Amino acid sequence: MRTESNRRSWNAVAPAHQSHRPGQAAFLRAGGLTLFPEERELLGELAGLRLLHLLCNAGQDTLSLASLGAAATGVDISDEAIGIARQLSEDSGIPARFVRADVYDYLAEAAGAQFDRIYLGYGAICWLHDLAGFARGVVDILAPGGRLALMEFHPASNMLSPSWRLAHGYPQGGALLELDGVGDYVGAAGDGLAPAGFAPGAGGFVNPHPCYLYRWGVGEVVSALAGAGLRILTLREYCYVNGERPFDAMRPGEGRRMYPPEGAPDVPLMYGLAAEKG
């Protein structure tokens, strides 16, 4: 039931997100990238590699990875998002394969596949109800020497209120959180998530379908990956956030980075991880 509700919630919001990014196909076709430097560094050289982007949403990052030379496959639960991704691939002229599937179903069906890189980015971990099962599935489809790269919002940031006050305990244990629905965070971010140019698009979006998230700590993520046999290559924490504006009065910086408000202490807002299969 929760998975189906999440699918419906993402189906509802995907067109609203896309309404703010009308110039994406031309941007990508001209060589533009929607990726940030942090995830590119974790992934390393991609030319000629087989890459899987899990929870790929509407495919703009998958196509950016493909334009860097990867043979890219994107997987997402949302029918609407995958439809947008396929159209974006056609309109941009950048080839990639997009699959509509629940991530756990896909990992089970793809067991034995050989990907050189697997990538998850920004807001993916919170949709995983079983970290250990996910990690085992990743190991099953990584080629020897293959790498998982993860760029994610830091769970420490979930302890803070929008006004930058300590308001919640540290997220851990896969704690279930029910929300009214996936919101229009692309619209709220302005040009932060629209490097091709931002349009007002759909205003006042209200999602009619609730969604269910799972809260995991950094240690739990690292332990699940290591427990499945992956070797942790690097774990980095960043006291800024890329693209989004999760708090009030954030200070914009270069490269679409957002920093804490004036006078607020530095706390980690993102983390990046790379792990390798032996």
The arithmetic mean of pLDDT across residues 174-185, rounded, is 92
**pLDDT confidence of residue 112:** 82
- DSSP summary character for residue 169: P
Q: What does the pLDDT look like over 100-129, one tens digit per residue?
A: 999 999 999 998 889 999 999 999 999 999
**pLDDT confidence of residue 1:** 83
Check pLDDT > 90 for residue 191.
no
Q: How far apart are CA 33 and CA 6, in angstroms?
A: 28
Q: What strands, in cross-sheet order, belong to the sheet with 251-252?
A: 241-242, 257-259, 251-252
* pTM for the structure as a whole: 0.96
Check pLDDT > 90 for residue 202.
no
Phi and psi at residue 73, in whole multiples of 5°?
A: -125, 130
With CA atoms as reference, report the closest residue to 122 among 51, 61, 52, 48: 61
